[in-house]
Amino acid sequence: MLGLSRSDQGAKSLVTAGAQVHRGDLEDLESLRRGAAMSDGVIHTAFIHDFSNFKAICETDRHAIEALGSVLAGSDRPLVVTSGTGMASSAPGRLATEEDVHASGPNAIPRVATEEAAGSVAAKGVRISVVHLPQVHDQFKQGLITYMIAVARDKGVSAYVGDGQNRWPAVHLSDTAPLYRLVLEKEGSGATYHAVGEEGVLCRDIAEVIGRGLRVPVVSMSKEEAATHFGWLGLFAGLDMPASSAQTQQRLGWHPTGPGMISDLEQMRYDAA
């Protein structure tokens, strides 16, 4: 097993896990090509979390996928790439499924770059699959909710938008690695999978448990107020984006069993976060 690392700390983690270390990063495309050339298959989960430059980091992901694909084209070696469940476009109030088509065109959110790159390399003969991640959590990190906690700590209030009935899907960290392994081993190409353990956790419930953990008030905000309060996170704070993994579970025999999002948020140490 070969793992990409951009830091000494990451390299130590790979060695501890029994993997060989390949040094590089997402913006060093030659390092990605060299790593892919040495691999029987590639799982691409890395993403630069500088959401204040969301469009730029999404374009970085596009270039990374294209670089990996340039090596794997025509080889029958699989490439698994990662996007978000929010990319599955569904009717308001309906669970997004693996069959929903992602948004496209000039008005699409920047994350569509990942989906477009997957389609581009598939057309060149790459055996590619896409995994849509929701909020991946344990008692230390919780995806975008990690940033919600930071904002609540900084502003002294834990906020939600409107009535807080918008939902975010979630999955425990321990359930994600088995899914990626199953996808990597699955024959075929072009499939999309949802790594969803909980179809939709109410954002008001998330804000309330954060408020209890930090011992700060919990408040409702309008969309306009949230845009200022949350900064870049305001783009996501009011979105209702529930998602299903029923098809993924049926096709792969994957059944998430990890703790729920609220349980992890209740048990984490807010004084040490």
pLDDT of residue 107: 47
User: How is domain 40-267 classified at the CATH fold level?
Assistant: Rossmann fold (3.40.50)
- pLDDT tens digits for range 202-244: 999 999 999 999 999 999 999 999 999 999 999 889 999 999 9
Whether 83 has a pLDDT exceeding 80, the answer reads: yes
| Average pLDDT value for residue range 28-39 | 96
| pTM exceeds 0.95 for this model | no
The ranges assigned to domains in the chain are 40-267
pLDDT tens column, 89-124:
666 788 999 998 776 655 468 888 999 999 999 999
Q: What is the pLDDT of residues 246-257, one digit of tens each?
A: 999 999 999 999
- Asked if residue 194 has pLDDT above 70, the reply is yes
DSSP for the chain reads: -EEEESSHHHHHHHHHTTPEEEE--TT-HHHHHHHHHT-SSEEE------GGGHHHHHHHHHHHHHHHHHHHTTTT-EEEEEEEGGGB---TTSPB-TTSPBP-STTS-TTHHHHHHHHHHHHTT-EEEEEEE-EEE-SS--THHHHHHHHHHHHSSEEEETTS--EEEEEEHHHHHHHHHHHHHS-SSS-EEE--SEEEEEHHHHHHHHHHHHT--EEEE-HHHHHHHHGGGHHHHT----B--HHHHHHH-----SPPHHHHHHHS-TTT-
pLDDT at 135: 97
Residues of the chain with pLDDT > 90: what percent?
84
- What pLDDT is stored for residue 103 in this prediction? 64
Q: How confident is the model at residue 145 (pLDDT cuts 50, 70, 90)?
A: very high
